[in-house]
Structure 1
Amino acid sequence: MRESSVERHDRLLALVRERGTARVSDLAVLLGVSPVTARRDVEALAARGLLDRVHGQVSWPERPAAEGAGRPAAGEGLVLGLLAPSATYYFAEVIRGAHEAAARAGARLILRISDYRPEEDRARTEGLLAAGAEGVLVAPGWRGPEDRLSYGDWLAELPVPAVLLERRADPGSPLDGLDRVASDHGHGVLLALRHLLDLGHRTPLLVARGDSPTALAVRAGYAEALRALGVEAPGPVIESVPADQNPEGFERAVRALHEAVTSGLASAALVHNDVDAIEIVQRLAELGVKVPEDLALIAYDDEVAALADIPLTAVAPPKRQVGRHATELLVERLTQAPDEEAARRHLSLLPRLRVRSSCGATAGTGPA
């Protein structure tokens, strides 16, 4: 696969950061590119203030506050890095919140995307450091517990302050000592189930994916909510998959939910995520099951739930606030006095339930 200019810039910055000073001709050899390409890369990075360039050489820029002069309390001049698995759907709002908080603090935020490839998380985070990040917000591209075990411990070894974003660590693991800010998905699931039970429905079914930390947290939250509410699941969790990636698996999920409704086993369901919920509602209608008349439905994520033909009641994790609070925490870490030993924090933010038409209740009657 051909190397992108961003990846080449990351390698160039890493080389200069490691050496302190380097000749442009030497960098061309080390990077395996022509002298013209190396010179253009150096000029672009120097224009952004990431390198100092003088007479055919480049050097790592001196930081004005490096001699212990301290930083303004607002974080003016800080460079923050953010690694996210995606810049769309769920994480678009997280990124937006982080960007807004960084701007308010007078800091610059730089972004890298992993595309849910956890094996590349470390290299991309090192790219952020090479680009000048003095602290990082990291949402690893984990899909399941095995990724957390295989591609996680390096985070605890970073040479700069780090805040784990929308991810949780195993108790006692190296990552458990990091600051983190995450949505409390268990609370969100509890809100949804309690609302459906209050509307008079039998215990709701869960239709959920299993390919992301959020999906796994929703599944765990479902089991916890059942125990807290003193009810039993009407059946096993229905395995959901994206319709465009696995049409047969998606159809199996729809048929399982259709059978549960038509047999009288269930009259309500919580579906993760919005896109799956919208497509499930459409397919159920084709099979003769109507929402909310035959099935009360709540989606989880609230990204596009309100745009469905039948606006979907949805659990809304506080995505924007997660990005904002995580950034504020990172700025606080970077601006605290060197001799200050502030306690690490695990901050959980509570989702809200936004009531619309799909659960059969009047909008605005559910909990905020």
Structure 2
Amino acid sequence: MRERAAERHDRLLELVRARGSARVSELAAQLGVSPVTVRRDVEFLANEGRLDRVHGSVSWPGATDAPPQGGPASGPGPVPRELVIGMLAPNATYYFAEVIRGAHEAAAAAGARLVLRISDYRPQEDAGRAAGLLAAGAEGLLIAPGWKEPDDPVEHGAWIAGLPVPTVLLERRGVPGRELDDLDRVCSDHSHGVLIAVRHLLGLGHSTPLLVARADSPTAIAVRAGYRYALDALGLKSPLPPIGSVSAEVDPAGFERAVQALFTAVLAGRATAALVHNDVDAIRIVQRLAELGVRVPDDLALVAYDDEVAALADIPLTAVAPPKHEVGRYAAELLIERLRGGTGGGPGAGAEGPRRHVDLLPRLRVRSSCGAPSETLPNRATPQS
């Protein structure tokens, strides 16, 4: 079977990491490929900042005293290389783009390098991609598994607890009582996000808002659980069960059924407000409701969940904004403190310190779609134990 480029890149990185530097011809011989292929691979990896190349040889970043052209070393040996941390994310767009940006900025500020791999929401491939990060020199990992179904943490998560390096979960929670629940994690508190949305709509004089939500991601599942939590906490009962939504591109008929269910509830007077996960679905629902004669916010106050593109709608959408950038930053800072033995000053954050479960609070950004004056409520993203 022909070796994939990503697998060859991992082997090349491991060879250079072990040696500090090597000539292209030597790498070609050890990898069993042509020098042209190695030069192409080296160019790709150098452009990503994962290798340095000089005059026919390649070196690990920071190994400035490595032997030139395969000759004997004239100095005391390679200087200490920078700390490398790996990050596995389900995608690099929409929600996780900002998480990745926060982690990257924190790593750069600490003098570390972040190496990223994407799972494309294929949890069965997560372990292999994490192994690739380790082969690329990662000394600690930030892991956001590509889970989509409620059973995925059990079916596709046990491998994480056996990783040989410090690991922090991002926007994912292990099953209570199982191995992953003992790991460090940094998450948005989606239950709190739903609660502040429901509380806001109640404060505007609406009855219990309906929930329109997907069920195809950990965030969607957490929003659904948060809705149940919010109603219990406020002593409320929903007039209707949550309306299941789906992507309009993937299942147009299913999306239309969700719109029609909400439309019917508004016409029957059973709903004057709704919370919709996510932004893209909320924008399309508002557009479709307008075609059916239901106006937002006049006939229906609406709050979106995610706040990725909510402000760009024709009617700017009030939205719950999870602290995505801060999740990435806190997680990277925690991992780096673990790797450096707590030298960053965090209380008990060293390699032997107690594990941490950090919840960051979303905030509500008030715009036109709920019928209230636009403002940003001062709910800061602060850690909760």
* TM-score of the pair, normalised by structure 2: 0.84
Q: Which one of 349, 354, 358 corresponds to residue 343 of structure 1?
A: 354
Q: How does 1:38-187 map to 2 (within 5 A)?
A: 38=38, 41=41, 45=51, 47=53, 49-50=59-60, 77-187=82-192
Residues 199-249 of structure 1: per-residue CA shift (max 9 Å, x gap): 111110000000000000000000010000000011111010011111000
Match of 2:265 in 1: 260
Higher normalized contact order (CA 8 Å, seq sep 6+, divided by chain length):
1
Deviation at 1:49, TM superposition (A): 3.5
What corresponds to 1:221 in structure 2?
A: 226
CA deviations over 1:266-303 (Å, ceiling 9, x no partner): 11000000000000000000000000000000000000
- Cα offset, 1:119, TM superposition: 1.2
Cα distance in structure 2, aligned partners of 1:12 and 1:365: 49
Comparing 227-236 with 47-56, greater Cα deviation is found at: 47-56
> Does structure 1 conserve the Cα–Cα contact (< 8 Å) formed by 2:21 and 2:59?
no
State the shift of 1:24 in Å.
3.7
Report the secondary structure of 1:297's partner residue: strand
For residue 9 of structure 2, what is the aligned residue in structure 1?
A: 9
Q: Does 1:304 align with 2:309?
A: yes
Let me know the Cα RMSD of the aligned residues.
2.8
1:28 is the counterpart of 2:39: no
Distance 2:358 2:59 in 1: 34
How many Å apart are 1:123 and its aligned residue?
1.1
Cα deviation for residue 13 of structure 1 reads 3.7
Cα distance in 2 for residues equivalent to 1:6 and 1:64: 28
Tell me if 1:292 matches 2:297: yes
| Cα displacement (A) at 1:306 | 0.4
The answer to whether 1:360 aligns with 2:371 is yes
SS in 2 for 1:258: helix
Q: Distance in 1 between matches of 2:333 and 2:251?
A: 40
Residue 292 to residue 193, structure 1, CA distance change in 2 (3 Å): same
Deviant stretches of 4+, over 4 Å: 1-4, 14-23, 33-36, 42-46, 51-57, 62-65, 337-340
**Contact 1:87/1:113 (CA < 8 Å) preserved in 2?**
yes
Letter in 2 for 1:153: A
| Matched AA of 2:358 | L
Aligned residues of 2:365 and 2:376 also touching (Cα < 8 A): no
d(CA) in 2 for partners of 1:63, 1:295: 65
3-state SS, counterpart of residue 189 of structure 1: helix
- Given the alignment, which residue of 211, 218, 232 partners 1:206? 211
Aligned residue in 1 for 2:244: 239
Q: Which residue of 1 aligns with 2:37?
A: 37
The separation in 2 between residues aligned to 1:114 and 1:81, in whole angstroms, is 13
SS in 2 for 1:109: strand
- Report the alpha carbon displacement of residue 12 of structure 1 after superposing the two structures with TM: 3.9
Amino acid of the residue matched to residue 342 of structure 1? G
Is the Cα–Cα contact under 8 Å of residues 24 and 39 in structure 1 kept in the other structure?
no
In the superposition, the TM-score normalised over structure 1's length comes to: 0.87
Q: Structure 1: give runs of 5+ residues left out of the alignment.
A: 66-75
Which secondary structure state, in structure 1, belongs to the residue aligned with residue 358 of structure 2? Answer: strand
Offset, 1:366: 5.0
Shift of 1:146: 2.1
Q: Secondary structure at the match of 1:145?
A: coil
Q: Note if contact 2:142-2:167 (Cα within 8 Å) is conserved in structure 1.
A: yes
**Unaligned ranges ≥5, structure 2:** 72-76, 344-349, 380-385
